[in-house]
């Protein structure tokens, strides 16, 4: 992977993990998996 592509991937990763919107669905997903584990 070229340096510019690596930088661009890192930038995208940083933008996602610093986006509050990302953590809301992720938390709900983990909660759903927990519930599913209890129900099965």
| Residues of the shown chain interacting with other proteins in the complex, contacts defined by CB under 8 A | 11-12, 15-16, 19, 21-22, 24-26, 28-29, 31-33, 35-36, 39-40
Cβ-Cβ contacts under 8 Å for 22 (sequence gap 6 or more): 16
CB closer to other proteins out of 3 and 20: 20
Q: Can you tell me the distance from the alpha carbon of 6 to that of 28, in angstroms, rounded to the nearest whole number?
A: 30
Q: Can you tell me the distance from the alpha carbon of 25 to that of 31, in angstroms, rounded to the nearest whole number?
A: 10
In the complex, the smallest distance separating the C-beta of residue 28 from other proteins, rounded to whole angstroms, is 4
In the complex, the smallest distance separating the C-beta of residue 7 from other proteins, rounded to whole angstroms, is 12
């Amino acid at each position: 992977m070229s340096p510019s592509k690596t930088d661009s991937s890192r930038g995208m990763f940083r933008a996602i993990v610093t986006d509050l919107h990302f953590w809301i669905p992720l938390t709900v997903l983990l909660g759903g998996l927990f519930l599913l584990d209890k129900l099965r």
